[in-house]
Amino acid sequence: MKKLLFLAIFSLLYQFSDAQDQTITGFFKENTEQQLQLEASFDKNLNVESIDKNLKLLSSKPHHLSSPGSKTNAEYILGLYKKWGWDAAIETFHVLFPTPKTRILEMTSPTSYKAILKEPELPEDPDSGQTGQLPTYNAYSADGDVSGELIFVNYGLPDDYKELDKMGIDVKGKIVIAKYGRSWRGTKPKVAQEHGAIGCIIYSDPMDDGYFKGDVYPKGAFKNEYGVQRGSVMDMVIYPGDPLTPGIGATKDAKRYDRLNAPNLLKIPVLPISYHDATPLLKALEGPVVPNDWQGGLPFAYHVGPGKTKVHLKVEFSWDIVPCYNVIAKIKGSKFPDEWIIRGNHQDAWVNGAADPISGLSAMLEEAKSIGNLLKTGWKPDRTLVYCAWDGEEPGLIGSTEWLETHQKELQQKAVVYINSDGNSRGFLYAQGSHALEPLMDEIAKTVIDPQTKVSVFERKKARDAIMANNTEAKEKDMNKTSLKLGAMGSGSDYSAFIQHAGIPALNLGYGGEGNGGEYHSIYDSYHHFTTFKDPGLKYEVTLAQTAGRAVLRMANADVLPFDYTHLYTTINGYASELEKLLDDSRKSTQIENELIAANAYKVAQDPTKKLTVPATKSDVPYLDFSPIQNSLVTLKKETDSLKAAYRAKINDNKVSPNFNRSLYRAEQQLLNKDGLPRRDWYKHTIYAPGFYTGYGVKTMPGIREAIEQRNWNEAQQQIKINAEAINRLADYLETAYKVR
Amino acid sequence: MKKLLFLAIFSLLYQFSDAQDQTITGFFKENTEQQLQLEASFDKNLNVESIDKNLKLLSSKPHHLSSPGSKTNAEYILGLYKKWGWDAAIETFHVLFPTPKTRILEMTSPTSYKAILKEPELPEDPDSGQTGQLPTYNAYSADGDVSGELIFVNYGLPDDYKELDKMGIDVKGKIVIAKYGRSWRGTKPKVAQEHGAIGCIIYSDPMDDGYFKGDVYPKGAFKNEYGVQRGSVMDMVIYPGDPLTPGIGATKDAKRYDRLNAPNLLKIPVLPISYHDATPLLKALEGPVVPNDWQGGLPFAYHVGPGKTKVHLKVEFSWDIVPCYNVIAKIKGSKFPDEWIIRGNHQDAWVNGAADPISGLSAMLEEAKSIGNLLKTGWKPDRTLVYCAWDGEEPGLIGSTEWLETHQKELQQKAVVYINSDGNSRGFLYAQGSHALEPLMDEIAKTVIDPQTKVSVFERKKARDAIMANNTEAKEKDMNKTSLKLGAMGSGSDYSAFIQHAGIPALNLGYGGEGNGGEYHSIYDSYHHFTTFKDPGLKYEVTLAQTAGRAVLRMANADVLPFDYTHLYTTINGYASELEKLLDDSRKSTQIENELIAANAYKVAQDPTKKLTVPATKSDVPYLDFSPIQNSLVTLKKETDSLKAAYRAKINDNKVSPNFNRSLYRAEQQLLNKDGLPRRDWYKHTIYAPGFYTGYGVKTMPGIREAIEQRNWNEAQQQIKINAEAINRLADYLETAYKVR
């Protein structure tokens, strides 16, 4: 009976679609129409009102990890899934999560100032004055009570310390103040600690997300003088997840590190502040005026320090083991129940988190609702769907990482793909992921329609890239672009463990660029802010659900899974060329710099009154042997081309073996190196990792790239070998896939 | 007796110099040593104390055109020259110079604010509270009393109005407020007037020369909240000098324009203000938030306007004909009295003008003093020296222009070169000028020693260029530079009439880059400011005197005048290539932009909520016939190469005719086009002119370049022909020079 209803609806929809001649990668011709009708039906079920209801409700209270609100939200989500016909449960982990007991920041010299460390309630924003908000702090700061001179370190990146060196300024034994931005926040205290600082203050400069960008909240979207970005400073580039249980699930009885020995936790105290609180501190600094590009948006000339400025920073935390609630919902696949299409978005926020994460979560829930409606028509996915609402993402991707680590073996067998989303807003598609999935996403991006302009989201993004390109050649290149390129994955959201630790193919999807603001991780990331500035009308919530939902449904029902490894080959080949160029450029620039130093050029060119030091000569950059990579890429090209031919044959023959599909989705695991990256063995993927000194920012072929950047030539040569071995493993694996099965 | 003393001193100096084997371009071997000894003696007479005395005295009171201080200074300078043995006199012109009677700027809506329009006295700066200061105003603003809505136009450049067009904002009937900078100030009201604005306010944004650049005065060198840049808005790119007497000397009885018909005077009122006065106006603006790169340094989000902001601007001036005192001092040449080496620097300031112009003037006076000392030893220059202290430079290069126009015929016969300086400070050599003089300046730059680093000023500048270059290729290129390149001359100082109107070879010399500040044209351009921030110890005052003095002495005594036209050929050839590339680039970018428009890319990419208009399609860029230029350059290369061979032969033969030298220095006049540039016929030079929309900024081969920039293809083709004719004239002239004489 249900099946009949299902077919009736589909035929009705079919008459109004122009999809009759479309093909979809991975689908036999005979199954294409049905899939397109399914997707049309899926889209029809997506509804702004129900997204709005969830967005409003789930952001109606603070709901950080361990808060009552987080538990309520998890239970609400669980209830929704069950109502929609999913098999859902909460899976709980037990993880370390510090919350503040004491937060003091005061300037004691040359004048007194006690930082207020508090974002005020705004009458315009009904959620801004709620109780239960986490105070402004950086999670996993060390406990500390330090006093000392203050030094302004710009964004607190390694290059900024080189600039300080030039000025003869040392941060050892001092407290640093850094701007938010240009790197993941955790990089700032880490680099400060490496340089001997005893404390770190991070503030939001108005140049970065305050009045320099537009009107401030509540008049506009940007950060007002009191807004503070909370956030984790756990060193996630060593490993994410519960700091006490790297590599294993943080179950009740898991073996745990003592927190003082946890390798990814800081030794110094850190505190984030507003530009209201930063102003008196920065204004009091003496010492040299900052280099030109360090000046921020506050209305005075910034100085580096120290001078007479002394500050006292005290922070103490409750270091609690708290429950972390992942809501996991499943629909068993009718044909391949042991092949899982996993979709996830986190549910925890720093405060109310309407944008981060509820915008992405509400879109994902809408997909789940729509799929629930499809179920009611009698439809079943071929493969199992697993929809996950993660807890503890904000402190360190904890919920997703612990789940992956707990179920790693099973997931490496069964997980076909992990599809992530997070904060979402009005604007342009962004899509990162495993490059074998590029044709899938390309096809989707060309069929999802931008709600504002009614062209495909691919066309809109392409137009934007072309308009924004700053020279004719780049514009021409963008205009002639015929397919979507996936970005490489760094870190910053829940895909990290899947792709980088377990080699499970992943995608990260969202929209943005026209909903910029300064609300991130503050109490002002609210329903009012979101619906006023970030996506009024919630059109892009629907668009995200369409985009991610289509990816889920195509992966769920594909006859031949849409992995095209020729795209991965092309991408890796590009990275390899970049690395050779990076080394050559480094050699040339080292040579020129050394010549300039030898010719006394710095000594002669620099302003003598500034007493700048002259850079030290660097050792010459050797030539490295890239042939292992080059040879492995020749093999990979051959095998991926042959695999593609085999793939096409199967599509034409309407015939494929389950083994072939399994090989396709498990192949990426061949790129893992069991020993992981140097000094951070949790990261196993040889092609994608977050940068050791960038955090969220990706480093591709990270073992080689970072060794070159750090001028560790021996390691670079070793990593070339390790990367080549991984590529060869993948090539061999793919050869077996298309030959034997 | 004197001659003996002279020789005795020279031989003494000679023993301590390592100059025995040096050669100097333009000097026979037999005369080289004597010249080097002369220069050493000249340098020895330069003295920081006497520079300091003049700097202090001449900047001790306001001395703008028509002020008592200007007359006192002129008479003091005259006295110095006479004391030093020069034949000196004041030559007076009678020129139009408006000074304010009424200055009112007030905001009348949404709130009231009356601009204070006054720079306060500072206890740290003893000169800042003097009477007789010109109030803050823009000379040659029209009288006006206007009220209207206010629009922020960024820097007020043509491209800024294109941005406003995109936003659908029209300035017609409105008052605009523009930032100082990025163009000559006069461009701003001119472009505003072209777009229908009824008034123009110009303010100094702290991002450009205020706290964004460093501490503000008196703590630091940069502009404090009350500092205002005065300055002329006469449209000097039409013609400089007295607005009533273009092309002729402003003598007492000269035929004058009625000022309301003067072609280079504005029709709308203009007023410069401080960022203190600008803040309430900018803060009150509504309308769209500015494009990202329009945001300035004030601590709020800038809006374009208008909204409810209304302002009232009233300015009235006394339009007086005032005396303009040029002090002209001469030493008759002993061999070639009718060949003049002219050196000049202006003497008038906007207020006290310690930097602008007294720093350059004091250096020039020191040269005159030192030359006076040489005279006392019995020495005489071979050619006549003419040292000029110009009045009325600030309002519009008036003193120098009127002198040139009055004596144009004689000067085109006699003037070998005009060597200019103006404000000077600590830092790096800058040198612009006629490119045939490149080898002369190269040689000088390699022998003048930088006072801070003790390398040559050439080496220091080269090192700085290499250090500052932002890529390896540029660094390498800078490092391998073996000779000084002269910049091309735009406008902004007294060389303009000489080179651009009369074709007299010119140089503009100075030091800077380590003495930046915000004092320009304000009451804070004082002795205190200069000696504290711009050149403490006045070392670069001596260095400028050495540099310009050496140029004067070499030109005065050269056996064969050091003009090397192969350098001019190379330079013009480079410009011609640039123009071909400019046209090609314009063609490509037009094509791509039109394709983007046709493909709806703007419509699709732009944020629909901003309701931006889509750019209009442009007509295709045609191919132009560059062959006339290309052929003329082939000829010029041949003739300049032959001339160079003739030149070398004369040096080797120790024999040259006066005719040959005369041809060398008069050759540049062949590059003049009698009809001048389109729409501004005062500018006769076909190779160098200030840009119609840049003001001070140069446009090389301006007839062609600006026609291409303005998409006037017919004019571009005509100008190619005109330029080619000028180049051919020069080539023919040079051929005659080396063949016949």
List, as one string, the DSSP characters of B271-292: EEE-HHHHHHHHHH--SSBPPG
Q: Are residues B179 and B145 in the same domain?
A: yes
Q: What is the CATH number of the domain that holds A356?
A: 3.40.630.10
Q: Do B601 and A466 touch (CB under 8 A)?
A: yes
| pLDDT of A5 higher than 80 | no
pLDDT at res. B701: 98
Beta bridge partners of A324: A93
Q: Do B479 and A595 touch (CB under 8 A)?
A: yes
Candidate from B212, B216, B601 with C-beta closest to A467: B601
Tens digit of each residue's pLDDT (9 = 90 or more) over B535-578 = 999 999 999 999 999 999 999 999 999 999 999 999 999 999 99
pLDDT at res. A12: 47
| pLDDT of A335 higher than 50 | yes
pLDDT at res. B740: 61
Q: Do B211 and A301 touch (CB under 8 A)?
A: yes
pLDDT band at A17 (very low <50, low <70, confident <90, very high): very low
Beta bridge partners of B329: B88, B387
Residue B312, amino acid? H
Can you count the helices (H) and strands (E) in chain A?
24, 16
Q: Are residues A627 and A590 in the same domain?
A: yes
Exposed/middle/buried for residue B222 (C-beta within 10 Å: 0-12, 13-18, 19+): buried
Candidate from A462, A463, A596 with C-beta closest to B466: A596
Shortest Cα–Cα distance, B691 to chain A (Å): 24
| pLDDT of A696 higher than 90 | no
* Residues in chain B closer than 8 A to A222 (CB atoms): 301
Q: Do A599 and B463 touch (CB under 8 A)?
A: yes
Which tokens hold the place of B29? Answer: 């071997």
| pLDDT of A276 higher than 90 | yes
Q: Are residues B151 and B234 in the same domain?
A: yes
Q: Are residues A637 and A696 in the same domain?
A: yes
Q: Are residues B281 and B380 in the same domain?
A: no
What is the average pLDDT value for chain B, to the nearest integer? Answer: 96
CB contact set of A66 (below 8 Å; sequence gap of 6+)? A97, A99, A320, A322, A323, A324
Tens digit of each residue's pLDDT (9 = 90 or more) over B638-696 = 999 999 999 999 999 999 999 999 999 999 999 999 999 999 999 999 999 999 998 88
Q: Do A299 and B298 touch (CB under 8 A)?
A: yes
Residue of A nearest to B219 (CA): A301
The domain boundary residue, chosen from B258, B292, B318: B318
pLDDT at res. B662: 96
Helix or strand holding residue B48 (H, E): helix B48-58
Residue B95, amino acid? V
Tens digit of each residue's pLDDT (9 = 90 or more) over A149-166 = 999 999 999 999 999 999
Q: Is B70 within the bounds of a domain?
A: yes
Distance CA A648, CA B633 (A): 62
Candidate from A295, A299, A301 with C-beta closest to B220: A301
Q: Is B7 within the bounds of a domain?
A: no
Q: For testing the chain B interface, which of A471, A594, A604 should be mutated: the one with the most B CBs within 10 Å?
A: A604
Q: Are residues B607 and B705 in the same domain?
A: yes
Q: What is the CATH number of the domain that holds B650?
A: 1.20.930.40
Strand segments (E) across B110-229: 113-114, 138-139, 144-152, 175-179, 199-203
Q: Are residues A91 and A102 in the same domain?
A: no
Q: Are residues B334 and B412 in the same domain?
A: yes
Candidate from B292, B297, B301 with C-beta closest to A220: B301
Q: Do A475 and B213 touch (CB under 8 A)?
A: no
Beta bridge partners of B311: B107, B148
Tens digit of each residue's pLDDT (9 = 90 or more) over A464-487 = 999 999 999 999 999 999 999 999
Cβ pair A702, A712 in contact under 8 A: no
Strand segments (E) across A172-217: 175-179, 199-203
Q: Is A1 within the bounds of a domain?
A: no
| Residue A65: CA count within 13 A, CB half-sphere | 31
User: Among all chains, which residue has been given the structure tokens 């935390």?
Assistant: A317
* Residues in chain A closer than 8 A to B213 (CB atoms): 292, 295, 301
pLDDT at res. A19: 46
Q: Do B463 and A588 touch (CB under 8 A)?
A: no
The phi and psi torsions of A688 (rounded to 5 degrees) equal -125, 135
Candidate from A214, A299, A609 with C-beta closest to B299: A299
What is the mean predicted confidence (pLDDT) over A366-379?
97
Q: Are residues A127 and A229 in the same domain?
A: yes
Q: Do A472 and B588 touch (CB under 8 A)?
A: yes
Residue of A nearest to B605 (CA): A464
Candidate from A211, A452, A462 with C-beta closest to B301: A211
| pLDDT of A242 higher than 70 | yes
| pLDDT of A445 higher than 60 | yes
Candidate from B206, B215, B585 with C-beta closest to A472: B585
* Residues in chain B closer than 8 A to A300 (CB atoms): 211
Q: What is the ipTM of this complex?
A: 0.94
What is the mean predicted confidence (pLDDT) over B245-273?
97
Q: What is the CATH number of the domain that holds A118?
A: 3.50.30.30
The domain boundary residue, chosen from A557, A579, A596: A557
Q: Are residues A533 and A590 in the same domain?
A: no
- Widest CA span in chain A: 88
* Residues in chain A closer than 8 A to B206 (CB atoms): 299
Distance CA A388, CA A325 (A): 10
| pLDDT of A115 higher than 90 | yes
pLDDT at res. B695: 85
pLDDT at res. A738: 82
Q: Is the peptide bond before B218 cis (omega within 30 degrees of 0)?
A: yes
Distance CA A477, CA B721 (A): 36
Residue B693, amino acid? Y
- Which of helix, strand or coil describes residue B333? coil
* Residues in chain B closer than 8 A to A299 (CB atoms): 206, 211, 297-299
- C-alpha closest to that of A11 among A381, A377, A369: A377
Cβ pair A402, A95 in contact under 8 A: yes
Give one DSSP letter per residue of B406-461, joined into a string: HTHHHHHHHEEEEEE-----SEEEEEEE-GGGHHHHHHHHTTSBPTTT-SBHHHHH
| Residue B570: CA count within 13 A, CB half-sphere | 12
Shortest Cα–Cα distance, B150 to chain A (Å): 19
List the domain range (segments joined by +) for residue A165.
98-318
The count of domains in chain A is 3
- C-alpha closest to that of A78 among A66, A92, A96, A64: A92
| Residue A312: CA count within 13 A, CB half-sphere | 11
Distance CA A117, CA B423 (A): 49
Distance CA A576, CA A579 (A): 5
Q: Is A9 within the bounds of a domain?
A: no
Q: Do B213 and A301 touch (CB under 8 A)?
A: yes
Q: Are residues A185 and A284 in the same domain?
A: yes
Task: Give the other-Cβ count within 10 Å of A710's Cβ.
Answer: 14
Q: Is A2 within the bounds of a domain?
A: no
pLDDT at res. A14: 46
CB contact set of A454 (below 8 Å; sequence gap of 6+)? none
- Which of helix, strand or coil describes residue A96? strand
Q: Is the peptide bond before B263 cis (omega within 30 degrees of 0)?
A: no
For residue B443, what are the CA distances in angstroms to A41, B25, B36, B343? 81, 8, 12, 19
pLDDT at res. A207: 98
Cβ pair B561, B555 in contact under 8 A: yes
Strand segments (E) across A455-547: 506-513
Distance CA A684, CA A678 (A): 10
* Residues in chain B closer than 8 A to A593 (CB atoms): 475
Q: Do B596 and A479 touch (CB under 8 A)?
A: yes
pLDDT at res. A695: 85
* Residues in chain A closer than 8 A to B460 (CB atoms): 604-605
Three-class secondary structure assignment of B446-476? CCCECCCCCCEHHHHHHHHHHHHCCCHHHHH
What is the mean predicted confidence (pLDDT) over B12-33?
74
Tens digit of each residue's pLDDT (9 = 90 or more) over A487-539 = 999 999 999 999 999 999 999 999 999 999 999 999 999 999 999 999 999 99
Tens digit of each residue's pLDDT (9 = 90 or more) over A644-673 = 999 999 999 999 999 999 999 999 999 999
* Residues in chain B closer than 8 A to A609 (CB atoms): 514
Q: Do A213 and B601 touch (CB under 8 A)?
A: no
| pLDDT of A7 higher than 90 | no
Percent of chain B predicted with pLDDT > 70: 97
CB contact set of B397 (below 8 Å; sequence gap of 6+)? B236, B240, B241, B390, B491, B493, B494, B496, B497
What is the mean predicted confidence (pLDDT) over A8-32?
69
| pLDDT of B13 higher than 50 | no
Q: For testing the chain B interface, which of A276, A592, A594, A602 should be mutated: the one with the most B CBs within 10 Å?
A: A592
Q: For testing the chain B interface, which of A295, A472, A597 should be mutated: the one with the most B CBs within 10 Å?
A: A472
- C-alpha closest to that of A592 among B671, B473, B97, B92: B473
User: Among all chains, which residue has been given the structure tokens 């310690």?
Assistant: B354
What is the mean predicted confidence (pLDDT) over B435-449?
98
Residue of B nearest to A461 (CA): B605
Tens digit of each residue's pLDDT (9 = 90 or more) over B73-108 = 999 999 999 999 999 999 999 999 999 999 999 999
Distance CA B701, CA B707 (A): 10
Shortest Cα–Cα distance, A591 to chain B (Å): 9
Q: Are residues B248 and B359 in the same domain?
A: no
Distance CA B373, CA B471 (A): 49
Q: Is A11 within the bounds of a domain?
A: no
Beta bridge partners of A271: A201
Q: Do A604 and B460 touch (CB under 8 A)?
A: yes
Q: Do B214 and A601 touch (CB under 8 A)?
A: no
User: Among all chains, which residue has been given the structure tokens 């922070």?
Assistant: A315
Alpha helices in B654-712 (DSSP H): 658-666, 702-709
Q: Do B206 and A299 touch (CB under 8 A)?
A: yes
* Residues in chain B closer than 8 A to A479 (CB atoms): 592, 595-596, 599, 601
Shortest Cα–Cα distance, B670 to chain A (Å): 38
Candidate from B206, B475, B604 with C-beta closest to A592: B475
What is the mean predicted confidence (pLDDT) over B499-515?
98
For residue A271, what are the CA distances in angstroms to A100, A418, A455, B88? 11, 34, 45, 71
Residues A513, A514, A515, A518, Cα dihedral to 10° = 70
Q: Do B601 and A463 touch (CB under 8 A)?
A: yes
* Residues in chain A closer than 8 A to B533 (CB atoms): none
The domain boundary residue, chosen from B298, B318, B338: B318
Chains A, B: CB contacts within 8 A come to 132
As a whole number of Å, the CA-based R_g of chain B is 26
Q: Is B117 within the bounds of a domain?
A: yes
* Residues in chain A closer than 8 A to B601 (CB atoms): 462-463, 466-467, 479
Q: Is B17 within the bounds of a domain?
A: no
* Residues in chain B closer than 8 A to A213 (CB atoms): 292, 295, 301
First to last CA, chain A: 38
